[in-house]
Structure formats: structure tokens, C-alpha cells
Structure 1
Amino acid sequence: MAIDAPLLDSHPNGGHQEQKPISVVREFGEESKRLWKLAGPAIFTSICQYSLGALTQTFAGLVGEVELAAVSVENSVIAGLAFGVMLGMGSALETLCGQAYGAGKLRMLGIYMQRSWVILLTTACLLVPIYVWSPPILELIGETTEISTAAGKFALWMLPQLFAYATNFPIQKFLQSQRKVFAMAWVSAVVLVLHAIFSWLLILKLGWGLTGAAITLNTSWWLIVIGQLLYIFITKSDGAWSGFSWLAFADLWGFVKLSLASAVMLCMNIQGWDAMIALGFNAAISVRVSNELGAGNARLAKLSVIVVSVTSISIGVICMAVVFATRDYFPYLFTTSEAVGNETTKLAVLLAVTVLLNSLQPVLSGVAVGAGWQSLVAYINIACYYIVGLPAGILLGFTFNFGAMGVWSGMIGGICLQTVILIIVTSITNWKREAEEAESRVKKWGGSVAEH
């Protein structure tokens, strides 16, 4: 059995000699190795970078309750919003850089990264007022005055992190598209170790509290940026970096539209620790699909989608089973309250379903990024979340008095619908046509200009 028609091998006399079809198992295994070479370091990098904020929050909690609340709220609401927007807008680069790399247009990658810097740094400036006026914003969404004031003060101190996000995400997409994921992993790991040491020193040992938290967290994010930039500038990234260019300011409007569509598509899917594995696979499959489409390999792009879908669903099923098996025990790792534990156990079924859905939905979004469908998926996301999921959650939770279970069930319904639609879109895709469109996209976005 073969995935496609039998492969033909060149014959020494000039003809062709039929070769044994490559088995499905062998092709699946080879593609799985390629996928994990990308996904493994990407997952590790995501965990390291997410852990920067988590560690800061932990140390702040050792100082006091107000400090814990301030860091937690700033991390999850203010910085969380900025992270989602920047990650989403930076993901436009995955399509363009990935397909350009697959097409062998290496010099275009540096131009694309610089264009993304221009757009994301401008976006960061537009997000500054949210940091400045975060206290009234936080009070508006229900936080107490004391926590809003403390979180707002901390948010002002964290403005350097906002601009680190804007610089970092284009760099990451630039490196990921070339499969240089180990460089990112090493930089993130070293910074995480330094972050843990200096967080302890400044926050606890020297007693600097929130000031020490802000210094260490800002410094750590900028160390990641500097470390990755040094790697790019020193190695020239195998020719993908040829220096700064005024071409970075060309065709910016089209780049902005693709970036905005990417932001809408992805920033709605950032959900904490459970998102780290999904983000790793999201990055890996977007690179695989964009590289293969850029190289004109429609068949391998399709195979990559099949392999990553099977892999992520398998992981999701295992995680779902773990949640079911430990539903009576895991709540007490985080609370000593029997009432809270019992309520959490009741919600474990919804948690298990969410874990399964979150194993596939971000992967399909990564396929969309690799193929360049950001605008389509942005519309799908908006419809599923705001027309179906959110209204259903409000109706079940408050009108029919199902509480948290009702709200969560409604949102799961939206995610289910979104996942089903993405499965249908992916299943009916003509990958040969996508490869042809990738070639057109590479030419449209300045391929001929960047090569001269």
C-alpha cells in the first residue's frame, strides 16, 4: 500500500525503472521525525519563555498577596493581550518566510523580518495607552481598586517587555522558518536559568519586591532578543540576513493586512501552560507546510498535515485520559478546600474535552498559517467565538443557571464548531493549487526585488 502512485527511479540507460512503493508506515515515520525535530525545540522554547512570567509570579507570591495579584493580573490581562497580539501579527511571517525558504529565496527572509519589525514596533506604540491607563481598565472589568492600582503601576514598569515582544516574535518566525529552532531553545534555556537566579536575588534576597520583578522580567526578555540577534548577525543565518535595508518599508500595507488577520486568528487561542505543546506543534506544522508549498511539494505538505494531526490527537487522547483518571485527586494539588476540590472534579469532564480539542485546533491553525489562509480563519474564529460560543455560554451559564459549567460548555461548543470547520477546510484543500499560489505569493512579496 502506498500514499501515492509508485515512485520511478532513473535507469542508467536513460529510461525509468519502477521502484517499490514506499510504505505508509515508513513515510509516516520519516515525516514524524521531521516534525519532532521542529516541534520538540519549539515546545521547549515556548515553555522556557512562558516560565519567565510564571517564575516572577511565584517569587512575587512569596513577598505578599498584593504583589502576587499585581504580577498575576498584569501578566494575564495586560501583557497577555500584548503577547497574543504580537504573536499573532508576527505569525504572518511564518507564511512568507516559510514559503520563501522553501522556494530557495533566502535573502527575502531578512527583508520580511525587518518589515515585521516596523509593523510590530508601531503596534507596540499603539498599545502603550493600555499600559498607561490599565488601572481604570482593570477596575472596569471587575478588579478591586487596590489590585488595579498595584497592577497598573507594575504594567508601567513592564513597558520594555512590550517592545521586546515586538522585536522577538519576528526574530522567532525568521529562525523557525529556517528550522534553526535549537538556537532559540539554547538562548531561552540560558536566560531562564539566569532569570531564576536574579529573581531570587532581587525580589527576595535584596527585598526589592515588584521593582525587582520588573527589572528581572524586562531584562530576561531583552536578553532573549539580544541573544537571538547576535546569532543572526554573527552567522548571517546562511545568507538569510544580509543587513538592514530600505526594502523593509516597501509593500507595508499588504503586510499589515496579513499581520492583522494573523493576530485575530491566533491571539484568541493563548491559554497558558496547556497551550505550550500546542504552540510548539503550531509552529512546527506551519514551517513544514510553508516550506513544502514554497518548494512546490504539494504531496509532502499534505503528508505533514496528516502526520501532525494524528500525532496531536494521540497526545490529546492521552492527556484527556490522565485528566479523567486523576479527576478526584489533582484538584488537591492546588487547593486544600474540599468545596473547591469537589467543584473542580465536576468540571473535570469539560477540562478533559477542552484538552482534547486544544490538541488539534491550534495545529489546524498552524496549517492555515503555513498555507496563508489567515484571513479565512480569522473570520471563522470570530464567527465561532462571538456568534456561537460566547452567546451560548452566556445563555447556558446565566439564563439557564448552569453557572461555570454552562459558560464553559458554550465556549467548548464554539471551539468544536471551529475545529470541525477547520477539518473540513483542510480536508477539501487542493494542495497542488496551494503550491502554485505559494509560488505566486513569493513573487508578489518582492522576490525579484530582494534577489537583486
Structure 2
Amino acid sequence: MFIIIIHEWKIGMSSATETLCGQAFGAGHHHMMGIYLQRSWIVDGITATILAPVFIFATPILRLLGQEEELAVAAGPISLWFIPMIYSFVVSMTISMFLQAQLKNLIVGWLSMAAFVVHVSLSWIFVNKFKWGVNGAMAAMNMSGWIMVVGQLVYVFGGWCPNTWRGFSKAAFFDLLPVVKLSISSGVMICLELWYYSILVLMAGYMKNATVAIAAFSICLNINAWEFMVCLGFLVAAWYCIQIIISFFFLKQSLKRNQISYLFSSDEEVAETVSSLSIFFAFAILLNSVQPVLSGIATGAGLQSIVAYVNLGCYYMIGIPMGILVGYIADLQVKGLWIGLMSGVVMQSLILGWFVWKTDWDEQVRKASERLNRWLLKPPEEDNESPFDA
């Protein structure tokens, strides 16, 4: 649970790097991207250090939360493995945003694939061959994560980003407050969205047949997450085609018995419940696919704080109460939870869509330019005494 929360928070904070580097790249301030990356390392690294005691004292914290003694004690040694992992997140996520902002997506993909292959291989060796159990799995996860970091650092430091990485600089320690504010708002924005789905899964645990409800709901959310990743990758043009294909597929599946649940479970009751959700799920996928584009526009404009308020209102004041009302009071069970989920997503999409339509983007460009110019430092070749000199 802790690593999921921390991971989601780090994803959110790293989107601040995406905003700053993306705007700097678009404005032609390429030399500032390395400065923004270093500032993000400082802010995110301090945040990771502040959060580290959560893993060190996991056992007493879980006891305080009322967790069973056996689980609380077992979680203590395992949680220590996550400490090096959160620091790998600090570097890998921010560098990924730094590279993607300058259209170097291919190298991120290759490094991710290499890390995945190493992770699977080491997991098989440590767990199956050496019989190290959970410790082996955690060691494999840490090693593959840091291999990803090393590969990214070699690429950046090795001269493949000559215009955007000029070496370490004292300038990284200046103007940290704006980065902190943007990072916090980014973290809140992402966490409010991701925790929304976790809370709905938790609510499914209080249904009449909790095991089946959680299984069916989780299957749908996993498939939804896959589709969400596709949307993030293809975005605008291919996004429309992908949504039509995926939605048609699930609508077609809803007309017969839904077989896709058997990828996750062989339980007939779970498959039946997933089948009953098919039509709702098809429309949810279509609706949910609008969100990456709208949120991406807001992130690119540095409007994470606005999206955070929208997420708070739509998800927690509309979606979850609607899910409780329709799921429990109207007794539609898992269908009711899914209807609640869709209501929150629909409202969020409508508000963000209206915001994007009504926003004066010329004014936003002017504000972004002012912000970038306010933080702009001259490149070293223009000012030999600039803060870039280490």
C-alpha cells in the first residue's frame, strides 16, 4: 500500500518536470532544461527523504492502523526494500520527462524494455532458482530499476543531449520555490485521480459477495489501465481510432459471453459479473479516454492546481457519493460503483473540456513566456560569470 501511494505521488511530482522542460523546449530555452531537471532532483530527493521513515517504521505504523500483527511484522523487513526504490523513482521519472519533452521517446522505450527483461530474468533466477522468495523478488525489482537509472544517466551525461544538458550547476539551487509549488500541485492532481480508483475497489469489498465484486471490479480497472496507457502513447490522431476499435470490441463482447475475464480468473461467477459490466465498461473506456488528452493540455500549460480542484470535486464529491448511492442504496452492487465511477469521469471531462474551450490560450502563452523569462538564465557561452559555472 505504501509503495503504491509513494509511487503515485512521485509520478505526480515528476509531471512538474514535464511542464517546465516542455515549455522550455517549446520556447527554445534548451539550456534551461538541464537546470529544471536538477531542480526537480533536489525537490523530489528531499521529498523522498522525508517519506523514507514511513518505510523504516512500517510495522508500528501498520499496528497503529489496526493491521493484523502477523502482517504488520512481515511488512517491516519487506518495506525496507522500497527505500532504494523510491530514490530510483526520483531519477528515472524526472529523466523520462526530461527526455520526452525533447522528443527522445525512443530511448526511454528501449531502456524501459531492457529494464523489464532484466527484471523478469532476475525474478526468475532469484525466486525460482535461488529460492530467495520475497527478498529475491524485491532485489530483482531494485536492480532492474537502478539499471534503468544507470542507462538514463549514461545517455544524458554521455553527450547525447548536448543542447539540454550542460553539466551540473549552482543555478539548480536557485528559484526552487516555484518548482516546489508546481511539484506539490502536480502530486495532488495525480494522486486525487489514482486514489479515486483505489477507493472504489475498497468500497467493492463491502458488497454482498465481496470476493467476486473485488475481482470483477479489479479486472475491469486493469483493462481500463491498459487502454489508458495506449491513449497516453498515441494521444490525438491515433487516439480516436483506438477508442473506436476498443469500444466496439467490448460492445461486441457484451452481446455474447464476456471471455476476456478468463485472462485474469477462471472463476465462473467472476466472469459472469464482468459480463454484466460489459456495456457500462465499454462506455467507461470511451469516456475515460478523453481524460489523458485534457489533463495533458492542462499539464503542459502548468495548470495542475486547477485540475487538482476539478479532480477533488468530480471524483470525491460526485463520483464516490454517486457510487455509494447507486451501488448500496439502489442495490445495483458493482454496476452501481461503475456508474459512480463514470459519473465522476463524465463531470471531469465536461469541466476540463469547457475549460480548454474557454481558455484564452494566447494569454496562457504570454503567462508562460513571462514565467520562463523570469527564470531564464543566460547560457554559459553568453555569460562567462553566469550561475552555470560550477
Distance apart, 1:143 and its partner CA = 6.5
**What residue number does 1:183 align with?**
107
User: Structure 1 residues 407, 208: closer, same or farther in 2, change over 3 A?
Assistant: same
Asked whether the 8 Å contact 1:279–1:362 carries over to 2, the reply is no
Partner residue of 1:441 out of 351, 366, 371: 371
Opposite residue 417 of structure 1, the aligned amino acid is: M
**What residue number does 1:250 align with?**
174
**What residue number does 2:246 align with?**
319
Distance apart, 1:225 and its partner CA = 0.8
Asked whether the 8 Å contact 1:385–1:414 carries over to 2, the reply is yes
2: distance between equivalents of 1:370 and 1:434?
Answer: 11
**What residue number does 1:89 align with?**
13
**What residue number does 2:297 align with?**
367
Q: Is 2:116 the counterpart of 1:171?
A: no
2: distance between equivalents of 1:415 and 1:134?
Answer: 34
1: distance between equivalents of 2:67 and 2:276?
Answer: 27
Q: Deviations over 1:255-299 (max 9, x none)?
A: 1111111112223444656435535654776xxxxxxxxxxxxxx
Opposite residue 121 of structure 1, the aligned amino acid is: G
User: Structure 1 residues 349, 157: closer, same or farther in 2, change over 3 A?
Assistant: same
Distance apart, 1:177 and its partner CA = 0.8
User: Structure 1 residues 369, 133: closer, same or farther in 2, change over 3 A?
Assistant: same
User: Structure 1 residues 135, 364: closer, same or farther in 2, change over 3 A?
Assistant: farther
1: distance between equivalents of 2:232 and 2:185?
Answer: 16
Partner residue of 2:155 out of 219, 231, 241: 231
RMSD, matched Cα: 2.4
Asked whether the 8 Å contact 1:312–1:363 carries over to 2, the reply is no
Q: Where do residues 345-384 of structure 1 align in structure 2 (5 Å cutoff)?
A: 345-384=275-314
- Give the match's secondary structure for 2:156: helix
Q: Where do residues 19-418 of structure 1 align in structure 2 (5 Å cutoff)?
A: 77-135=1-59, 145-235=69-159, 237-270=161-194, 274-275=224-225, 278-279=228-229, 281-282=231-232, 308=236, 311-327=238-254, 328=257, 329-418=259-348
Asked whether the 8 Å contact 1:107–1:241 carries over to 2, the reply is yes
Asked whether the 8 Å contact 2:321–2:340 carries over to 1, the reply is yes
2: distance between equivalents of 1:114 and 1:145?
Answer: 42
2: distance between equivalents of 1:244 and 1:231?
Answer: 15
2: distance between equivalents of 1:429 and 1:100?
Answer: 21
2: distance between equivalents of 1:382 and 1:258?
Answer: 17
Asked whether the 8 Å contact 1:391–1:410 carries over to 2, the reply is yes
User: Structure 1 residues 397, 418: closer, same or farther in 2, change over 3 A?
Assistant: same
Asked whether the 8 Å contact 1:269–1:362 carries over to 2, the reply is no
- Give the match's secondary structure for 2:289: helix
2: distance between equivalents of 1:326 and 1:367?
Answer: 33
**What residue number does 1:58 align with?**
none
Identity of counterpart residues, as a percentage?
38
Asked whether the 8 Å contact 1:167–1:225 carries over to 2, the reply is yes
- Give the match's secondary structure for 1:105: coil
User: Structure 1 residues 173, 269: closer, same or farther in 2, change over 3 A?
Assistant: same
User: Structure 1 residues 138, 415: closer, same or farther in 2, change over 3 A?
Assistant: farther
1: distance between equivalents of 2:150 and 2:162?
Answer: 19
Q: Deviations over 1:290-316 (max 9, x none)?
A: xxxxxxxxxxxxxxxxxx1x5424322
2: distance between equivalents of 1:122 and 1:83?
Answer: 15
Q: Deviations over 1:328-381 (max 9, x none)?
A: 222233323222221121122232222222211022111111112111111111
Distance apart, 1:150 and its partner CA = 3.5
User: Structure 1 residues 315, 135: closer, same or farther in 2, change over 3 A?
Assistant: farther
- Give the match's secondary structure for 1:238: coil
Opposite residue 278 of structure 1, the aligned amino acid is: F
User: Structure 1 residues 181, 277: closer, same or farther in 2, change over 3 A?
Assistant: farther
1: distance between equivalents of 2:261 and 2:29?
Answer: 51
User: Structure 1 residues 311, 284: closer, same or farther in 2, change over 3 A?
Assistant: closer
User: Structure 1 residues 193, 332: closer, same or farther in 2, change over 3 A?
Assistant: closer
1: distance between equivalents of 2:192 and 2:151?
Answer: 29
**Structure 1 gap segments, 5+ residues each:** 1-76, 286-307
User: Which range moved further: 193-202 or 126-135?
Assistant: 126-135
2: distance between equivalents of 1:274 and 1:223?
Answer: 29
Asked whether the 8 Å contact 1:236–1:242 carries over to 2, the reply is no
**What residue number does 2:212 align with?**
none
TM-score, L = length of structure 2: 0.83
Distance apart, 1:167 and its partner CA = 1.5
Asked whether the 8 Å contact 2:247–2:283 carries over to 1, the reply is yes
1: distance between equivalents of 2:266 and 2:92?
Answer: 40
TM-score, L = length of structure 1: 0.72
Distance apart, 1:193 and its partner CA = 1.5
Asked whether the 8 Å contact 2:34–2:164 carries over to 1, the reply is yes
2: distance between equivalents of 1:402 and 1:348?
Answer: 15
- Give the match's secondary structure for 1:239: coil
Distance apart, 1:107 and its partner CA = 1.1
User: Structure 1 residues 339, 366: closer, same or farther in 2, change over 3 A?
Assistant: same
Opposite residue 240 of structure 1, the aligned amino acid is: T
**Structure 2 gap segments, 5+ residues each:** 195-220, 384-390
Distance apart, 1:97 and its partner CA = 0.7
2: distance between equivalents of 1:355 and 1:136?
Answer: 40
